[in-house]
Amino acid sequence: MTTATDTTAQPSGTLRWALADSWTMTRRGFAHWARQPVQVVVNLVFPVMMLLMFAYFLGGGMTVPGGGDYKQFLVPGVFALTMAFGLEGTMLAVTQDLNKGVIDRFRSMPMAPSAVLVGRSVLDMLQSALSLCALIGVGLAMGWRWHGGIAEALYAVGLLLWLRFAMLWIGIHLGMVAGRPELVQAVQILVWPVGFFSNVFAAPEHMPAWVGAVAEWNPMSATAAATRDLFGNPGAGGGSWAADHAQLLALCWPLLLVAVFFPLAVGRYRRLTR
């Protein structure tokens, strides 16, 4: 046979090829972005729009527990919400990819099986990091400020991306479970009540007692409260244990979610070959 066959017949399990293949899959995603610049912009604009709508249409009527400017309360909340809503994008991308014929070619090739999922992760984390940058920029333009040190601010950004990372694996798993893009729509609708069932837009103190209690335990609330605290924005803390330990929960919630959904997602992806 040809040299092309012989010199490359090495096991795909080696880390080197796993990294190279993951990078190739990431480049594929960049090429998609280059083909769909409008989609990329829409993805960046949507959370910014949410921020502006809540700040200027509804913000006038909102009160912040302990007093303070609603915008200062809202901006970190929208950061957390955007990270959580990243779930939809991941799920849709995974579902679309698995329904394309090209996945059969990937699977009939000697590439590292992990590369498809790693490529997806890198792209989605990058997309969310860009969204976060855009939101921070718009937030600053609106008058939002952070009052802590640079280390606290970076820690807050880290916690936000950590939540996004957990959502990534939920999205990958649900995307494979749903299987068809039509089913993704159902999840996209369900994401909304879950998103609002939190302290993102309103303080749980102002909700009916049991609703507020559940909202405080929402993983998104933990991240939002922790980032408010780290940025020195109003509305952090409160009476309950969950509110007082927001930073701990902002670390543990995503950890728990990753611990559950990462093995589920990887296992499910492996079983595609059965």
Interface pattern 23-62 for other proteins (x via CB under 8 A): -x--xx--xx--xx--------------------------
223, amino acid identity: T
Which is nearer to other proteins, 29 or 148 (by Cβ)? Answer: 29
Which is nearer to other proteins, 116 or 225 (by Cβ)? Answer: 116
Least distance (Å) from other proteins to the CB of residue 121? 17
Site residues for other proteins, 129-158, by CB under 8 A, read none
Distance of CA 136 to the CA centre of its chain: 16
Q: CA angle 166-168-171, nearest 5°?
A: 115
Site residues for other proteins, 92-121, by CB under 8 A, read 100-111, 115
Q: Is 10 in the site for other proteins (CB under 8 A)?
A: yes
Q: Is 2 in the site for other proteins (CB under 8 A)?
A: yes
Stretch that binds other proteins, among 2-10, 121-129, 221-229, 253-261 (CB under 8 A): 2-10
Which is nearer to other proteins, 119 or 235 (by Cβ)? Answer: 119
Q: Is 268 in the site for other proteins (CB under 8 A)?
A: no
The structure tokens listed for 67 are 């007093």
Site residues for other proteins, 161-220, by CB under 8 A, read none
Stretch that binds other proteins, among 21-29, 152-160, 184-192, 236-244 (CB under 8 A): 21-29
Interface pattern 59-98 for other proteins (x via CB under 8 A): ----------------------------------------
CA-to-CA distance for 162 and 254, rounded, in angstroms?
A: 7
209, amino acid identity: A
CA-to-CA distance for 155 and 33, rounded, in angstroms?
A: 29
Contacts of 222 (CB under 8 A, 6+ apart): 242, 246, 249, 250, 253
Q: Pick from 120, 29, 45: which is nearest to 82 by CA? A: 45
Contact between 148 and 230 under an 8 Å Cβ cutoff? The reply is: yes
Least distance (Å) from other proteins to the CB of residue 181? 14
Q: Pick from 100, 126, 103: which is nearest to 113 by CA? A: 103
CA-to-CA distance for 90 and 73, rounded, in angstroms?
A: 28
Residues of the shown chain interacting with other proteins in the complex, contacts defined by CB under 8 A: 1-2, 4-5, 8-12, 17, 20-21, 24, 27-28, 31-32, 35-36, 100-111, 115, 273-274
